[in-house]
């Protein structure tokens, strides 16, 4: 099994904007390192911009691969919502 680092963001009202921004940057830096090591060959990133608009960023070999990765991420997120992490 590969050594994977999973970072789970839990949004808490008392967390400052800077702390939250630091969390986002930590995840982005970890992802960059995984790409540099060759552990990531394709990806789909869903984000919300400052205006509340959805932003999808993809680096996939084809459209079907990108759609598949997005669907798997969506399913995983929905499954996590059925558990109480707090």
64 and 31 share one domain: no
> Residue 44's CB: how many other CB atoms inside 10 A?
19
Q: Which of 64, 18, 15, 72 is nearest to 46 (CA)?
A: 72
Q: What is the domain extent for residue 73?
A: 41-86
34 and 59 share one domain: no
| pLDDT band for position 11 (cuts 50, 70, 90) | low
Q: Is the pLDDT of residue 43 over 80?
A: yes
Q: Average pLDDT in the 24-50 region?
A: 92
Tokens read off for 77: 């997120």
Q: Which residue has the higher pLDDT, 2 or 26?
A: 26
- DSSP 3-state of 1: coil
27 and 1 share one domain: yes
Q: How many domains does the chain have?
A: 2
Alpha helices in the chain (DSSP H): 17-36, 63-80
Tokens read off for 79: 């499954």
| pLDDT band for position 2 (cuts 50, 70, 90) | low
């Amino acid at each position: 099994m590969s050594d994977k680092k999973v970072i789970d963001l839990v949004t808490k009202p008392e967390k400052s904007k800077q702390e939250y921004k630091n969390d986002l940057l930590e995840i982005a830096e970890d992802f960059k390192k995984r790409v540099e090591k060759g552990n990531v060959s394709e990806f789909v990133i869903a984000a919300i911009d400052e205006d509340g608009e959805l932003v999808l960023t993809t680096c996939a070999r084809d459209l079907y691969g990108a759609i598949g990765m997005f669907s798997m991420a969506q399913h995983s997120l929905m499954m996590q919502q059925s558990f109480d992490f707090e």
